[in-house]
Structure 1
Amino acid sequence: MSVVTQNIRANAEIFYGDEICQEKIKLRLVEMGLPNNLLPLKGIEECGYVKDTGFVWIRLKNEMKYNNEKIKKVTSYTKEITAFMEKFKIKKLTGVKSKELLMWIPLSEVSVDTPLTGKITFRTSSGLYKSYPVSAFQIEDVKKEAIGASVAKEAQVVKEV
């Protein structure tokens, strides 16, 4: 059962489709001072953001796993991921697990100490945590230009209306 209620949806920006949702997620991560490849998701059906509360959700077509070669860790994503985003932090994260030894550990919080130069820390609800370099979750790519163009295009659309 989804935690995204009709009330939440009524106050949210909602997008549909993998390409636009990936773009919006990366844009939101960058706006919050988080690395742009923190959520390397594929097959996104829907994503939403409630600006007033910072609540975000992402719905995937299928559960997926991602192997981050830079830190040699596998992360598992359920069909629905939810969280509250604020500057340099993701709180009350659901739908994301990291494999440690032979166990899948649910993650509940992600925070960046010093944006884009320091450490990113992943926490569980039980208090366990692990830190990595922010660069392990950052990709330098030509999509930065596309994200910038998208923001400019949205600004232009707002002005036209």
Structure 2
Amino acid sequence: MADKEGGIVKKGHDEGLKMAVSLLEEFGLPLGLLPLADVIEVGFVRSTGYMWIQQEKKVEHYFKMISKFVSYNAEITGFVDKKRIKKLKGVKAKELMLWPPVSEITVDDPPTGKIHFKSLAGITKTFPVEAFAAGQ
């Protein structure tokens, strides 16, 4: 796949998770944003910002502070930039009985303590950044 050309790839859960967390840190995103399990591979192409994550199976995570379930597919892709992830695929947040796909995640810059999740339908939900701190 051309998107992955020139990418840095880490295989296995420990190495993959370490890389995913360091990318979140580098781009000013909350470290608990991607609660991954059984990672197979994480890759990143610095020239384009393209990131991909493969895990063994879909993961559902409950963020207690905001009482929200978020679903992470076995494959997650997106373009990471300062304080944002664009063209995100493979992440859905539960709203009532629906699971709308999340297409973009943005952290306010300058910081206001807010993070915004935009769905493909154009709906944006805003939450406190600390709800996605590591270990939440």
Q: TM-score, normalised by structure 2?
A: 0.94
Contact residue 106 and residue 116 of structure 2 kept, 8 A: yes
Q: Rg: which structure is higher?
A: 1
- Tell me how far 1:8 sits from its aligned partner: 3.2
Secondary structure at 1:101's aligned position in 2?
coil
Secondary structure at 2:127's aligned position in 1?
strand
Mark the runs of 5 or more structure 1 residues left unpaired by the alignment: 141-161
* Letter in structure 2 aligned against 1:124: S
Could you tell me which of 11, 31, 34 is aligned with 1:36? Answer: 31
Secondary structure at 2:100's aligned position in 1?
strand
Q: Work out the CA distance in 1 between the residues paired with 2:73 and 2:134.
A: 23
Contact residue 93 and residue 108 of structure 1 kept, 8 A: yes
RMSD: 1.4
Identity fraction in percent: 40
Could you tell me which residue of structure 2 aligns to residue 16 of structure 1? 11
1:98 and 2:111 matched: no
Mark the runs of 5 or more structure 2 residues left unpaired by the alignment: none
Secondary structure at 1:105's aligned position in 2?
coil
* Letter in structure 2 aligned against 1:126: A
- Which structure dedicates a bigger proportion of its chain to strand? 2
Could you tell me which residue of structure 2 aligns to residue 118 of structure 1? 113
Secondary structure at 2:66's aligned position in 1?
coil
- Tell me how far 1:100 sits from its aligned partner: 0.4
Contact residue 101 and residue 119 of structure 2 kept, 8 A: yes
Could you tell me which residue of structure 2 aligns to residue 133 of structure 1? 128
Q: TM-score, normalised by structure 1?
A: 0.80
